[in-house]
Amino acid sequence: MTAFGIAPMAPDAAELPRRTLIQTLAAPDIEAQLDELATHAIGLTRAEATRSSDTPDSLLRRAGAFDPAAAAFLRNDPMGRRVLQGRAGKMVHLTADASGQVQKIVVRFPAEKVEQQSSHFTRLTIERDGTVFRARTEVAPLQAQVALGSGSIRTSLFAATDDANIPDAIASQMADMFSGDIDFHRELRKGDRFSIVYETLTADGEPINWDGGVGRLLAGEFTNNGKTYSAVYFKDSASGKASFYGFDGQSKRRAFLASPMEFSRITSGFAMRFHPILNTWRQHNGVDYGAPTGTAVRSVGDGVVEMAGWQNGFGNVVHVRHAGDRTTVYAHLSKIDVKKGQRIEQGQRLGAVGATGWATGPHLHFEFRVGGRHMDPRAIARASEAITLPNYAKAQFQQTVASVKTQLAVAETMDGVSAAD
Ligand SMILES: [Zn+2]
């Protein structure tokens, strides 16, 4: 129940894809193929990615070639060797003739200079010239494209984003985008839906799969338990400040986050396999999050550490005092990273999940108190004050919202088309 498509940057609605692409296909460059066909009897280009276990022979075999001379070139030539040197995941387009003889290999991988890696890539071209091979490298700019994705939750958020070919980094940005609205650890429901617009970087038209290939999440809509939240990435051109905003112009940044743990593939898959020692202790006044020992625990809001140490029952515990006589409590920690009196920012790491004190397994016990009284943390996060967009930026913001609404509408229909399960 997921779909994925790619549209050009700032697309005209009429040009947006109307039909669903179930997955990104590594589309071979048709013109290059036609060129190959013109110069060689039969040339077939196959796309592959290098693996850490690859040898020249295994890579060629997977790409449909059998060519000892080409294998020797990849083994012995200083430029040829670069194909399998360093990190795996290089994108390989290999053109071979009908007998499996290599005509051309084009390999794309991250630019060598770190400062260029988010904007450029290296293109290594190896071409047969009679009985020898010639190789050359170029540095070429990456291109940003807008990608649309959508899905429905059946088991977990990451299962849904995997199905839609949405990169993990974008899934995490999505959890972050709605972190003031939805506690992704506890509130996801089967049937929840999302549509997103995000940037993807391409090398010669093909989405890149190496680190840094993921651009920004530009906009999203998330329907959780029947309620729809929407947000857009907006950079105020006057101040240069960027943040996520609701379509109504309210900043998504709240005084409190909905969850004291960052949502990740690891925490999302960790179910509580035990029951905390509740009734034998005292009335349970908090929220429990199952997570592996060592998972980072973050402060849900700005504040000052009021207590950091051992307390009966709680084990290692941190209390953070916030404005308005509000306090949050993080208990059973395996490790504490802050000190009493320390000033803390929202999202800052306080320590790590553990099972200290009265706990039968690793989990975070989290409390929210107002004037000493226990409150439902989720209700607090939602009610907390939001920041509104300055007046001068509103026209620019409305334009951005109008354009992403069109894209999100398209992303949604893609999901509908592929609803066959
Ligand atoms: Zn608890």
Q: Compute the distance from residue 285 Cα to the ligand 1 centre, in Å.
A: 7
Distance (angstroms) between ligand 1 centre and the Cα of 223 equals 28
Using alpha carbons only, give the angle 163, 166, 172 rounded to the nearest 5 degrees. 115
pLDDT of residue 375: 85
Per DSSP, 138 falls in state E
**d(CA 222, ligand 1 centre) in Å:** 28
| Separation of CA 69 and ligand 1 centre (Å) | 65
User: In whole angstroms, what is the distance from residue 161 CA to residue 164 CA?
Assistant: 5
For ligand 1, the distance from its centroid to the CA atom of residue 313, given in whole angstroms, is 10
Q: Please provide residue 282's backbone torsions phi and psi, each rounded to the nearest 5 degrees.
A: -170, 180
* Ligand 1 center to 342 CA (angstroms): 25
Contact in structure between 355 and 362 (CB atoms under 8 Å): yes
- Across the beta sheet with 296-298, what order do the strands follow? 296-298, 349-352, 335-336
Cα–ligand 1 centroid distance for 331 (angstroms)? 8
Interatomic CA distance for residues 206 and 203, integer angstroms: 5
Q: Is 321 exposed, middle or buried (0-12, 13-18, 19+ CB in 10 A)?
A: middle
| Separation of CA 155 and ligand 1 centre (Å) | 24
Cα 189 to ligand 1 centre (Å): 22
In the reported structure, the alpha carbon of residue 314 is separated from the centroid of ligand 1 by a whole-number distance in angstroms of: 9
Mark out the alpha helices in 213-346 (DSSP H runs). 265-268
Ligand 1 centroid–CA 286 distance in Å is 5
Residue 104 C-alpha to ligand 1 middle, in angstroms?
61
Q: How far apart are CA 386 and CA 142, in angstroms?
A: 37
- When computed from its CA atoms, the radius of gyration of the chain, rounded to whole angstroms, is 26
Which tokens hold the place of 111?
């630019």
The residue among 254, 251, 259 whose CA lies nearest residue 328 is 259
Token digits for 226? 């029947």
Place of tokens 């999100």: 408
- List, edge to edge, every strand of the sheet that includes 120-129: 44-49, 91-96, 102-110, 120-129, 132-141
Q: How far is residue 119's CA from residue 106's CA, in Å, rounded to a whole number?
A: 19
- CB neighbour list of residue 301: distance below 8 Å, 6 or more residues apart: 255, 256, 257, 320, 322, 326, 328, 346, 384
| 3-state secondary structure at position 211 | coil
Residue 70 token pair:
């080409």
Q: Distance from the CA of 366 to the center of ligand 1, in angstroms? A: 7
Question: What sign has the CA pseudo-torsion 303, 306, 308, 313?
Answer: negative
Half-sphere exposure of 251 (CA within 13 A, CB side): 18
**What number of other Cβ atoms are within 10 A of residue 102's Cβ?**
24
Nearest alpha carbon to residue 150 among 138, 142, 158, 161: 161
Tokens of 138: 């170029």
Scan for tokens 């334009």, then name that residue.
Answer: 399
Question: Splitting the chain (421 residues) into consecutive groups of 10 residues, what average pLDDT does each group show?
Answer: 44 36 46 56 80 95 94 96 92 92 94 85 95 94 89 90 86 87 87 92 84 80 95 84 85 83 73 52 72 93 96 95 94 97 94 92 91 82 71 89 91 54 32
Alpha-carbon gap, residue 4 to 117, rounded angstroms: 25
Distance (angstroms) between ligand 1 centre and the Cα of 354 equals 12
Nearest by Cα to 122 from 59, 199, 46, 204:
204
Burial of 324 (0-12, 13-18, 19+ CB in 10 A): exposed
Measure 54 CA to ligand 1 centroid, in angstroms: 48
Q: What distance in angstroms lies between residue 175's CA and the mean position of ligand 1's atoms?
A: 23
Structure tokens at 400: 């951005």
Q: Which residues have CB under 8 Å from 274's CB, separation 6+?
A: 360, 361
Q: Which residues contact 404 (CB under 8 A, 6 or more apart)?
A: 197, 218, 219, 232
**Residue 378 C-alpha to ligand 1 middle, in angstroms?**
15
Task: Return d(Cα 159, Cα 163) in angstroms, integer.
Answer: 6
Centre of ligand 1 from the C-alpha of residue 227, in Å: 27
Task: With beta carbons less than 8 A apart as the criterion, state whether 288 and 329 touch.
Answer: no
What pLDDT is recorded for position 223? 96
Ligand 1 centroid to Cα of residue 235, in Å, is 40
CA of 288 to the centre of ligand 1 (A): 5
**DSSP state, 86?**
S
Structure letter (DSSP) for residue 389:
P
